[in-house]
Chain A
Amino acid sequence: MSEIREELKYTQDHEWIAADGSIGTVGITDFAQESLGDVTFVELPEVGTTYNKGDAFGVVESVKAASDLYMPVSGTISEVNSSLESAPESLNTDPYGEGWLVKIEMSEPGQAEELLSPNAYKGLI
């Protein structure tokens, strides 16, 4: 059974976001990492890149396939998890912790609130 954390918001594309003021931390869900299987490579954007909600901002690659990552909210990348370059397996072992992908300065922080609640996401998977 995949873990779903109560304090997070979710997208239909299986990303999660943790909002802290105007900063959101984004990752993929436990369900997503289980479906992908062993993650072998993560391609992340440069700090300072601006995205609209729903834009593809990176790629996560597993033995099986490469999949796009989608922005849950609009904003500008303020930090990327560069440890994933050498340890992409963190996405499998700790998707809500060490496997976080990017932090984003949200241009419309209200967008995070509109995302799926843990219960709604649970109904999706």
Chain B
Amino acid sequence: MSDLKSIPLQSFYEQKGARFVDFAGWNMPVQFTSIIKEHEAVRKRVGLFDVSHMGEIIVTGEGSIDYLNYLLTNDFTNLAPGNSKYTMMCYEDGGVVDDLIVYALEPHKYLLCVNASNCDKDFAWMQQHATNFEVDLSNVSEDYALLALQGPMAAEFLLPLQQSTLDDLGRFAHIETELAGVEVILSRTGYTGEDGFEIYIPANTAESVLNALDERAQELELEDFYCGLGCRDSLRLEAGYPLYGHEIDSEIDPIRAGLGWTVKLNKADDFRGKSSLSDLKTSYPRKVVHFYKIEDRRIARQGESVYQGDSVVGRVLSGTYSPITGGAIGSLILDDVSTTPEGLTVELRGKSLDLKITRPPLHLTK
């Protein structure tokens, strides 16, 4: 336990009854009351996640745009300050180093939010590719606390706590604003499929922001306001968002994963993985990662074989229980692009279950 890193606000969550788990070397709240109740709170009202384990890397310098365009698959040429983009960082063979969000803070200054489990690897990879560019990189992960306020009531919740009307703050936009007397980056992003905000807070002042949010939650008499990583996973899977190590990784490239929209093969400059990703786009005219529902409560978990008739044609990448559909949900990958994603089954403890391929969001479709 002593080797685990603590998030800045750990003692606050201990008082709120959090159960903790080791996640990517961090001691993180996994649930407060119940994964299912917390999940429902985010779909129906609003919930707060602490995701301070996420990595933050700052890129500055005249060469920032050229560097990001070389390093990453999306196109950052016209990303104006106040906006952000989701992107992949790929190896030369098209496999994924990490998926991340790039925030344009000001001209020549960008904040990259990366997965906790990949942060050190990412930073090393980024440094290795920075030599020919006029950029400075700094890993500022431990300087920031990151809170995610998610759910249909998120905007209403935040209105009285800061100056903005939030009307102009569109999806993937962000502002620097004062929240509870603290300068924060307020971003309209999230990982739940609901409206919501992610709040980047200097770690040493995070407690006053959290206290203000806590007071507001009490004022609104919100139940199950505090949410752990447990329901973060079931929410993202319903929404159909990829998780590194499941739907994407060094072996599963963005083309096969159905994330080709983050790969801009037509951008002006060369970029890492371009040639392989271009070839993959030709060999994979359609994606081979799909999301599914099961009309049964049995969960098919990562690694489970996927059958078509008697043949194994793929494997499960993620699986959980959806409190909204009342059944199991998940994602899978087909080994062969020629396999039609129909008539797929899994065998769980001697029982064959149909995988109903569904376009996410899984919680909003019949």
Contact = CB atoms under 8 A, between A and B. Distances in A.
A40 B349 contact: no
A63 B321 contact: yes
A98 interface: no
Interface residues of B, number: 13
A63 B234 CA distance: 9
Contact of B230 (A43, A59, A61, A63): A63
B299 A66 contact: yes
Interface string A37-79: 1101101000000000000000101011010000000000000
A88 interface: yes
B100 to A, nearest CB: 27
16 contacts: A37-B34, A37-B230, A38-B34, A40-B36, A40-B299, A41-B297, A41-B298, A43-B349, A61-B298, A63-B36, A63-B230, A63-B234, A63-B320, A66-B349, A89-B36, A92-B34
Interface string A66-104: 100000000000000000000011001000000000000
A38 B35 contact: yes
Given A41-B299, A63-B234, 14 more contacts: A37-B31, A37-B35, A38-B34, A38-B321, A40-B299, A43-B349, A59-B349, A61-B298, A61-B299, A63-B35, A63-B320, A63-B321, A66-B301, A89-B36
A14 to B, nearest CB: 17
Contacts of A92: 34
Interface of B: 31, 34-36, 230, 234, 297-299, 301, 320-321, 349
A115 to B, nearest CB: 27
Contacts of B230: 37, 63-64
A38 B298 contact: no
User: Which range holds the interface residue count of chain A?
Assistant: 10 to 19
A40 B234 contact: no
* Most central of B31, B299, B301, B320 by chain A CB within 10 Å: B299
A28 to B, nearest CB: 17
Nearest to A85: B297
A92 B321 CA distance: 16
Can you list the 4 inter-chain pairs with the closest CB atoms, starting with the nearest?
A41-B297, A40-B321, A38-B36, A38-B35
